[in-house]
Amino acid sequence: MTIPRDTKRVIALQEELHSHLPSDPALRVKALESLLVEKGLLSSATVDRWIEVFRDEVGPKNGARIVARAWTNPIFKQRLMINAIEAIAGMGFPRLEANNLVVVENTPRRHNIVVCTLCSCYPWAVLGIPPTWYKSFEYRARVVRDPRGVLKEFGLELDDDVEVRVWDSTAETRYMVLPERPPRTEGFSEEELAAIVSRDAMVGVAKVITPERRS
């Protein structure tokens, strides 16, 4: 049967409108938030404030400060690689939600990337809210089978002689990447170094670049 032209336009319009709708979990969260606000159990200002805390204060700025300190303080770096939770305990960060945090270091010959294949376990206290792509089934499934291909899609191509290691997070153990310190940053302060460390670099899908190269 031939579908009338006007009907095709209506179908196309409906598909376009539905493509912009939030996912079912997002809609359920929004409905729950609206109900709590309506009953006076929660305020919109409180929700906005918690979002700001996780986005701007909890992380990934916390992780960036950890990386910058490891780059500038060899003693701290050694402690961080041995026992990350103990090393960062005195930096005033929120308590980690997992029992263990393992920091893996990138080198010129080894590149690390983090995933959680079972769900989306993530070190919130040091990296903030996990990005959507980290929680997606496609990333969780493909990065284990073809890490180089996934990295290439993020714009990161590694030489063939660079070993790629994939670290699978769990409810008990979370991972964070210590990126390589970029060249021409010898005179940078700890604060200046922290400013150039990205969340993606601490997950392992990017490298840290100097401001000159970034611009």
In 3D, which of 208, 202, 178 has the Cα closest to residue 104?
Answer: 178
Q: Where are the domains of the chain?
A: 56-214
Cβ within 8 Å of residue 177, ≥6 positions away: 103, 104, 105, 106, 112, 113, 114, 201, 202, 203, 204
For 52-65, what is the mean pLDDT?
Answer: 76
What is the reported pLDDT for 10?
A: 59
For 42-57, what is the mean pLDDT?
Answer: 69
SS3 140: helix
Q: Tell me the C-alpha distance between 140 and 155, whole Å.
A: 18
> What CATH number was assigned to the domain covering residues 56-214?
3.90.330.10
Cβ within 8 Å of residue 21, ≥6 positions away: 27
Please identify which residue in the block is written with the tokens 């376009």. Answer: 16
How is residue 178 written in tokens? 């210590």
Task: Return the active site residues.
Answer: 116, 119-121
* 82-130 tens-digit pLDDT: 999 999 988 887 777 678 999 999 999 999 999 999 988 999 889 988 8
